Amino acid sequence: MTGASLPRLALFDLDHTLLLGDSDVLWCDFLMDVGVLDRAVFAARSADIEARYKAGTVDAAEFAQFYLSTLKGRTPAQWEPLRQQFLREQVVPRIPPAARELVQEHQRRGDLVVLTTATNRFLTTLTAEHLGIADVIATEPELVDGVFSGGTTGVLNMRSGKVTRLHDWLAQRGRRLAQFDSTAYSDSINDLPLLEAANHAVVVHADARLAAIAAARGWRTMNLSGTTPGATGTP
């Protein structure tokens, strides 16, 4: 089949793409606000990890384990009231209408829509449900005897790991990436491997390094922070 006749696959990063903010950072700030985390101890470490993530220099395992450490020692059920409060107060207000419309546009076309994020699955599944996205690929938190250990399981869904996890996810469904006309959306240089793996790369609210690459390659750019999707660049 030609690209025009292949089924379509839309791959969405979450943080700073569909969400105007970073789920992990917002979660840490939220936990500090409600007194679960000690701001004097945690704030500087969180800011350092965030800065190195944006620069694309943080170690993936360090990144994942730092943020998953916030869940350590409690069960999913024990966290659930705070997770629901976090969604209502911190996540939903930061999802712009244009982001919802873009997701819905792909869904109306009959595309397979997947949310793929470095943030852990426990935090992101509620966001995906709110956006009406059924399929999520995320970093997997480890549970030991039903309690979050602060560790991860499997391949981290970050950088080249997003491509590995995508191939594995499709293989489990008897499909291959080459069988789709795929479009990937992201803001971050950390997602360059995913953007390069897709047939079409679209950068949304791009960081400086990714914006330069997008300009050089003629990739589409989008700003979803307004009320309607806007795009420039090569279709």
Q: CA 71 to CA 51: how far, in whole Å?
A: 21
CA 4 to chain centre: 27
Query: What region, left, alpha or beta, does residue 179 occupy, with left being phi > 0 and alpha being psi -120 to 50 degrees?
Result: alpha
CA 199 to chain centre: 19
Q: Does 13 qualify as catalytic in the annotation?
A: yes
Largest distance between two CA atoms of the chain: 58
Quick check: 214 and 189 in contact, CB under 8 A?
no
**Helices and strands in the chain, H and E counts:** 9, 8
Q: Are strands 135-144 and 147-153 parallel, antiparallel or unpaired?
A: antiparallel
Give, for 199, the enclosing helix (H) or strand (E): none
Q: Which residues pair with 117 in a beta bridge?
A: 138
Question: Cα–Cα distances in Å, from 46 out to 24, 64, 65?
Answer: 9, 12, 12
Which of the residues are catalytic? Answer: 13, 15
